C-alpha cells in the first residue's frame, strides 16, 4: 500500500475517512516541519519568528488539508503557505515584525559558524566559513523575492517549476530573480563572472 | 535556436569556487536549521489583543470609523449648538414680545373706558412716574386736590 509520504501526493478524499485524514496530516506535519522551519529560518534568520510562522503554516495547512488536491507536491504547497504567511507578516505588522526580527536575527557572521562536519583541516574549515559568510552577506543585500528564490533553489534544492508554483510566479520571473541573486553572490565571492 | 544559457544550465556550469561556496552555504543552513529545530523552544500563545491587531480588515475598519467619527461628531456637536442657540434666541424673542405686549396692554387704555376713568388712569400713571426729587411737589398737588 502506498502512503502519502511515498507518493508525495494525496489520495482521493473519497477513499479516505476523517481519521485517515488526521493520520495523513500528522505524518505530513512531522515530515515537513523541519523543512518549513529551515526555510523560514534562512529567510528571516530569527529562530523564534521562524518557529511561530512554522506553527501558523501547519495550522493553516491542517485547516485546508481537505482542499489540497495534490496538484503540486505537499512540500511545495506547504512552502507556498509559508511564503504567503511570511509576506502577510511583513505587511500587516511591518514595523513591529521588522523590529523584533532584527532584534532577534542572528548575525550573518554568526550564522556562518554552522558548518557541516565534512571539512577535514582547520584551513578548509576557515575557507568554508569565509565563503558561507560572504554568501550570507550577499543574501542580506537581496530583495525579498530574490532572497526567497535563492533560498528555495540553493538551500531547499527545488527546481524552477516548483519555485514558480510555490511563489505564484512565472518560471521566467523566477529565472530573472535567481539570475540577479547569483550576480550578487558571485560579486561578493570575488567578482567573478 | 537560442544560445543563451538558462539559470539551471548556468548553475550546472558554475564556477568551482561559487559552486563550493553554495555547497558550504547549503550545508551550513541545513546544520543551523537542524540545530535550532532540535532546541526546545517555548511558543508563547498570542493574546487576544495581538490577534485583533493582526486582522488588517478589522484594523482598517476601526481606522475608518475613528476618522469618520472624528469628522462627524464635531460637526454634529456644532450643529446641535447652533440649533440650541437658535431655539433660545426664538424663546427670548417670544418672551420679549410677550412682555412688550403686556406692558402695552397696561399702558394703553381700553376703548370702553369712560372719560373719568381715563383721567384717573393718567393721573395714577403720572403720580407713579413722579421722580423722587418731585415728591414734595407731588404731595402738595395731592393735598390741593384733596381740598
Using the Cβ of B43 and the Cβ atoms of chain A, whether some distance falls under 8 Å is answered with yes
Q: Considering CB atoms only, which of B11, B27, B30 is closest to A38?
A: B30
Instruction: Provide the chain B residues 77-136 that lie in CB contact (below 8 A) with chain A.
Output: none
Q: Lowest mean pLDDT of A93-102, A158-167, B124-133, name the range.
A: A93-102
Residues 6+ apart with CB under 8 A from A34: B33, B34, B37
Q: Lowest mean pLDDT of A1-15, A41-55, B38-52, B95-109, name the range.
A: A1-15
Mean predicted confidence (pLDDT) in B107-128 = 73
Nearest one of A109, A157, A99 to A135, comparing CA atoms: A109
Q: Considering CB atoms only, which of A51, A116, A189 is closest to B17?
A: A189
Q: Considering CB atoms only, which of A134, A179, A193 is closest to B7?
A: A179
Q: Lowest mean pLDDT of A183-187, B70-74, B104-108, name the range.
A: B104-108
SS3 letters for A82-99?
Answer: HHHHHHHHHHHCHHHHHH
Cα–Cα distance for residue pair A20/A11, rounded to 1 Å = 10
Confidence of residue A14 (pLDDT cuts 50, 70, 90): very low
ipTM for the whole complex: 0.80
Cα–Cα distance for residue pair B44/B41, rounded to 1 Å = 9
Q: Which three three-digit cell numbers place residue A84?
A: 504567503
Q: Which three three-digit cell numbers place residue B68?
A: 469618520
Cα–Cα distance for residue pair B32/A110, rounded to 1 Å = 10
Q: Which three three-digit cell numbers place residue A189?
A: 565571492
What's the first-to-final CA gap in chain B, in angstroms? Answer: 145
- CA distances (Å), origin A130, targets A186, A189, B20, B44: 14, 10, 12, 36
Nearest one of A43, A28, A129 to A86, comparing CA atoms: A43
Q: Looking at per-residue confidence, does A175 or A97 come out higher?
A: A175
Q: Which residues of A touch B35 (CB under 8 A)?
A: 114
Using the Cβ of B56 and the Cβ atoms of chain A, whether some distance falls under 8 Å is answered with yes
Q: Kindly determine whether residue B18 and residue A37, on different chains, have CB atoms separated by under 8 Å.
A: no
Chain A residues in contact with chain B using a Cβ-Cβ cutoff of 8 Å: 33-34, 37-38, 41-42, 47-48, 50-52, 55, 91-93, 111-112, 114-116, 118, 128, 131-132, 134-136, 151, 153-155, 157, 159-160, 175, 178-179, 182, 185-186, 189-190, 192-193
Cα–Cα distance for residue pair B106/B87, rounded to 1 Å = 28
Q: Considering CB atoms only, which of B25, B30, B53 is closest to A135?
A: B25
Tell me the nearest-neighbour CA distance from A140 into chain B, angstroms. Answer: 13
Q: Which residues of B touch A91 (CB under 8 A)?
A: 56
Q: Lowest mean pLDDT of A17-26, A141-150, B19-28, name the range.
A: A17-26
Instruction: Spell out a b/e string for A98-128, using b for 16 or more CB atoms within 10 Å of the CB, else e.
Output: eeebeeebbebeebbebbeeebeeeeeeebb
A15-62: per-residue pLDDT in tens? 456 667 778 888 889 999 999 999 999 888 888 888 989 999 999 999
A76-88: per-residue pLDDT in tens? 999 999 999 988 8
Q: Which residues of A touch B38 (CB under 8 A)?
A: none
pLDDT recorded at residue B4: 45
Q: Which residues of A touch B53 (CB under 8 A)?
A: 93
Amino acid at each position: 500500500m502506498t502512503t502519502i509520504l511515498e507518493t508525495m501526493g494525496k489520495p482521493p478524499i473519497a477513499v479516505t475517512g476523517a481519521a485517515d485524514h488526521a493520520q495523513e496530516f500528522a505524518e505530513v506535519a512531522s515530515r515537513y516541519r523541519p523543512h518549513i522551519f529551515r526555510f523560514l529560518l534562512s529567510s528571516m534568520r530569527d529562530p523564534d519568528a521562524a518557529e511561530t510562522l512554522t506553527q501558523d503554516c501547519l495550522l493553516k495547512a491542517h485547516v485546508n488539508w481537505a482542499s489540497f488536491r495534490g496538484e503540486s507536491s505537499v512540500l511545495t504547497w506547504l512552502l507556498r503557505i509559508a511564503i504567503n504567511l511570511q509576506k502577510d507578516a511583513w505587511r500587516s505588522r511591518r514595523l513591529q515584525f521588522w523590529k523584533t526580527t532584527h532584534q532577534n536575527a542572528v548575525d550573518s557572521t554568526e550564522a556562518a559558524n554552522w558548518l557541516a562536519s565534512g571539512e577535514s583541516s582547520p584551513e578548509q574549515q576557515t575557507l568554508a566559513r569565509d565563503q558561507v559568510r560572504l554568501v550570507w552577506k550577499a543574501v542580506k543585500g537581496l530583495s525579498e523575492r530574490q532572497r526567497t528564490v535563492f533560498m528555495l533553489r540553493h538551500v531547499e534544492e527545488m527546481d524552477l517549476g516548483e519555485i514558480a508554483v510555490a511563489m505564484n510566479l512565472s518560471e521566467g520571473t523566477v529565472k530573472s530573480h535567481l539570475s540577479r541573486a547569483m550576480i550578487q553572490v558571485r560579486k561578493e565571492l570575488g567578482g567573478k563572472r | 535556436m537560442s544560445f543563451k544559457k538558462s539559470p539551471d544550465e548556468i548553475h550546472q556550469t558554475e564556477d568551482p569556487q561559487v559552486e563550493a561556496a553554495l555547497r558550504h552555504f547549503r550545508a551550513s543552513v541545513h546544520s543551523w536549521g537542524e540545530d535550532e529545530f532540535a532546541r526546545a523552544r517555548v511558543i508563547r500563545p498570542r493574546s487576544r489583543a495581538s490577534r485583533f491587531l493582526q486582522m488588517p480588515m478589522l484594523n482598517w475598519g476601526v481606522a475608518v470609523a475613528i476618522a469618520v467619527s472624528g469628522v462627524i461628531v464635531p460637526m454634529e456637536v456644532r450643529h446641535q449648538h447652533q440649533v440650541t442657540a437658535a431655539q433660545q434666541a426664538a424663546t427670548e424673542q417670544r418672551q420679549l414680545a410677550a412682555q412688550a405686549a403686556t406692558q402695552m396692554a397696561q399702558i394703553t387704555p381700553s376703548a370702553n373706558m369712560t372719560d373719568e376713568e381715563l383721567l384717573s388712569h393718567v393721573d395714577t400713571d403720572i403720580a407713579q412716574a413722579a421722580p423722587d426729587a418731585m415728591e414734595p411737589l407731588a404731595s402738595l398737588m395731592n393735598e390741593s386736590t384733596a381740598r
